[in-house]
Structure 1
Amino acid sequence: MKQEAFIQQLRQALEGLPKHAVDEIVADYREYIGDALAAGRSEEDVIAALGDPAKLARELKAQASYRQWQQSRSFGNLAHVIVSIAGLGLRNVLLLVPFMLYLVVLTVGYAISSALTIAGLVAVVGLGSHYMFGWPALDSTPINVTTQGHRQSKNVAEAAGDALSAQSDIKDVKVVGDRLVLKLRDGSKASILTHSGTIVIKNEDGQNKVVALGSGVLDSLTKTDDGTYSIRTADVVVFKLKDDDDNSVSIVHGSNNSFIWDIRDDNADNGHVRFEQDAQGTPKNVTLDSGDESVSIDGANGLSVKSGDDSVVINGASGLSVNSGNQSVHIGGLKGATLAGIGFIYAVALLIGGVLGLSLCIWLTRATWRALARYVHRQIDAITARLDGREQQA
C-alpha cells in the first residue's frame, strides 16, 4: 500500500474526531513515514509496519476519548471510552455484554430502592401525622350498600333508603352553625323542648302558629321577616318535626353536646335511619332499621348486619362473627395491635429497606467507577505501547 492510500484510509476511518485532531494525527504519520523513507526504508515496508489503517484509527480514537475523559471525568465520557475500547476486538465486546447487563441490574436496583424509600417515607409521615395530630383520619371507612329489588320482601337497605329520601324531602329543618333553623311548610308541625319549656310551631294554610309553655321560653326563639325561626342548638333538649307526608325527624340533645337524629317515613314499613353526631358534626354511628332487619355502623363496635336470627358482625378488635340460628363462625381479630399500627411497622420496614438499597447501589456505583477507571487506564496503556512499537518499527 502506498503512502497516499494509507493516509486517505486513515483519514476516513478517523471520521467523528474534530478536524484539527485528524489533521494533527495525519501530519504526525506523514512525518513518521517521511523519516522512515529518509532512513532508506521502502514505502511498502513502512506502511506494512504501521498496520491496518482502520484498526489504527480505532486505537487512536480510543486514545482521544481517554484524553477527553481525563479532562472531564463524567459518566458519558467514560462510557465513550469503554465503547471505543470494545470496538478494538471481539474479546472486549464479549466483556462489554455482561457489563451492560450489570448496569441494567444496577439501574433497576436504583429504581426499586428509590420507590421503596419514597413509599416508606410517605407512609411513615402519613401514619405518624395520624398518630400525633389525628390527620389523616384512618378510622373511618366509607361503606356503600347497594341492593337490587326482590318481589317477595323489601330488604333493610330499601326501607332505609326510603327513610333517607324522607330526609331529603323534609326541607323544614336544617342546622346552620350553632343554630337550628326552621322554615315550616303547610301542614308541618314542630315541637321543641328546651331547658325553659316547650315551644310548638304549626303551619296551617301558610300561617305559622306558635304556642309556648313556660316562662321566658320564647326568648330563645328568633324569627326573621321571611317566616324562618331559629334557636340555638345548645337550648334544644328534644326536637320533633312531622310534615303532612308522614315524614318525621326527631333530634335529641345527648351528652357532650352530641345530637341523635332519627329520620322516619311512616309509609316505609317502619324503616328509619338513626345516627349520632358529635359536637363538631362528625357522625359517630349510623343505624338503618326495617322491621327485624338492620345495618349498624359504629366507630367502636364496627359493622353489624342483622336479619332475623342471622347476623354478621365485623370488628377490628374482636374479628368477624357470622351467626345463623344455632350455627356460628368466628374469626379472631388482632389483639394488641391495629391495622394502622401494622401499617406503620411495614412503612418503617419499607423506608429502612429503601435506604439500605440506595446505600448499596451508591456503594456499587463508586466501586464500579473505580474499577472502570483502572480497566480503562490499563487498556489505554496497552494501546499506547502498541502504537509506539509500530512507530519505532516504521
Structure 2
Amino acid sequence: MNREQYLQRLAAALGKLGPAERDEILADYRAYFDDAAADGRSEAEVCAALGEPERLARELTAERKLADWEADKSPANMKQALGALAGLGVLNVLLAFPYLFLLTWLGSLWLGAVGMLVAGLLITGGWASHSVFGWPSLDNIVVNDSGVGPWLIAAGPRDGTPPRIRIESGQGETVRIEPDPASGKLVIEARDGDEHFRLERDASGKLSQLSIGDGADSIELSGLPKASSGSVLVFGLVLTLLGLIGTLLGWKVLRWVWHGTGRWLRWQQRLLAGDTAVR
C-alpha cells in the first residue's frame, strides 16, 4: 500500500467526522508521510507502522468524540462518544450497561425531586393566595390520612349541577357521572368487568366514599376530612423542603457522576486503543 491509497482509505473511514476535522487529520498524516520520507523511510514501511487505516480512523474518531464531550458535556455528545467507543471495540458492555442504568436512575430520582419541589411551591403558593385573596377555595380539597392512596384529593366543584353522563359497551364496560338533584349526591363510577372505581360526593361537597377494586382486592375510603388551611400549608412546606433537599443533593451527585464519566470513557478507550496522538 502506498501513501495515496492509505490516505484515501483513511479519509473514507473518517466519515463520522465533519469535513473540517477530517481535512485537519489528513493534513497531519500527509505531513507525517513527508517527515518519514525525509528520514529515508518508504511509504510501505510507514503504512505498515500506522496499521490498518480503518482501525486508525476508529481510534481518531473516538478521540475527537471524547474531546467534544469533554468540551460540552451534553447527552448528545455523550451518545456520540459511546457510539465511537463501541465502534472501536473497547467499550465493555458489562460495565457500560450498569453505569448507564445508574445514570438513568439518578436522573429519574432528580427529576422526581424537582417535581416534588414544584408541587410543594404550587401548594404553598395556593395557600398564600387563599389566605390573602380567598382563592383558590379549599372547600373541595380532602385530606386522605388513611395511609392508602394520594394524600390530597380534589373532590370536585360544589357549584352547579354536573351533566349526567352514562356510557356502556356490550363487553361490560361502563362509565357514568350521575348527580342526584334531590339529595345533592354525585356519583362518578367506571367499571370494566371486575375492576371498578367509584367516587361519591354528598350534598355538602364532602367526599363521602372512594372505592377501588379489581375483583380480588379492593380499597374503600370514607369519612375523609376536608383540608384545613393549616394542613395545606404544612403539606406544601414539607413537600417543598423535601423537594429542595432532593433537588440540590441530586444535582450534586449527578454533576459528580457526569464529570466522572469523562475519566471512565477515557479509561475504556485506553483499554485497547492507547495513545492515539499522531505517530
Q: Say if 2:106 is the partner of 1:91.
A: no
Structure 2 residue aligned with 1:375: 264
C-alpha distance 136-22 of structure 1, shift in aligned 2 (>3 A): closer
| Map 1:9-48 → 2, pairs under 5 A | 9-37=9-37, 39-48=39-48
Q: Secondary structure at the match of 1:12?
A: helix
Structure 1 residue aligned with 2:191: none
1:352 maps to which of 212, 222, 241: 241
Q: Say if 2:129 is the partner of 1:129.
A: yes
Q: Say if 2:108 is the partner of 1:108.
A: yes
C-alpha distance 31-297 of structure 1, shift in aligned 2 (>3 A): closer
Q: Which has the larger radius of gyration?
A: 1
C-alpha distance 104-135 of structure 1, shift in aligned 2 (>3 A): same
Q: Where does structure 2 lack aligned partners over 5 or more consecutive residues?
A: 141-156, 165-179, 185-201, 209-221
**1:39-80 Cα distance to aligned partner (Å, 9 max, x none):** 45454443222112112112212333344456x434244554
| Map 1:255-266 → 2, pairs under 5 A | none
Structure 2 residue aligned with 1:386: 275
Alignment: residue pair count: 215
| Map 1:221-240 → 2, pairs under 5 A | none
Structure 1 residue aligned with 2:251: 362
TM-score, normalised via structure 2 length: 0.58
Report the residue type matching 1:358 in the other structure.
Answer: T
Q: Where does structure 1 lack aligned partners over 5 or more consecutive residues?
A: 148-155, 162-295, 304-313, 315-330
Distance in 2 between residues matched to 1:333 and 1:106, nearest whole Å:
36
Of structures 1 and 2, the one with the larger relative CO (CA 8 A, separation 6+) is 2
**1:62-118 Cα distance to aligned partner (Å, 9 max, x none):** 333344456x43424455444433432143454433333233323322432232222
Tell me by how many angstroms 1:12 deviates: 0.2
What CA RMSD, in Å, does the superposition of the two structures yield over aligned residues?
4.2
Name the structure where helix makes up a greater proportion of residues.
Answer: 2
**1:294-316 Cα distance to aligned partner (Å, 9 max, x none):** xx9679xx89xxxxxxxxxx8xx
Report the residue type matching 2:18 in the other structure.
Answer: P
2:124–2:236 contact (8 Å) kept in structure 1 = yes
| Map 1:101-250 → 2, pairs under 5 A | 101-131=101-131, 133-139=133-139, 142=158
Distance in 1 between residues matched to 2:158 and 2:69, nearest whole Å:
60
Q: Secondary structure at the match of 2:275?
A: helix
C-alpha distance 77-145 of structure 1, shift in aligned 2 (>3 A): closer
Q: Say if 2:89 is the partner of 1:73.
A: no
Structure 2 residue aligned with 1:191: none
C-alpha distance 145-13 of structure 1, shift in aligned 2 (>3 A): closer
Structure 2 residue aligned with 1:7: 7
Distance in 2 between residues matched to 1:139 and 1:130, nearest whole Å:
11
C-alpha distance 36-356 of structure 1, shift in aligned 2 (>3 A): same
Name the structure where strand makes up a greater proportion of residues.
Answer: 1
Report the residue type matching 1:13 in the other structure.
Answer: A
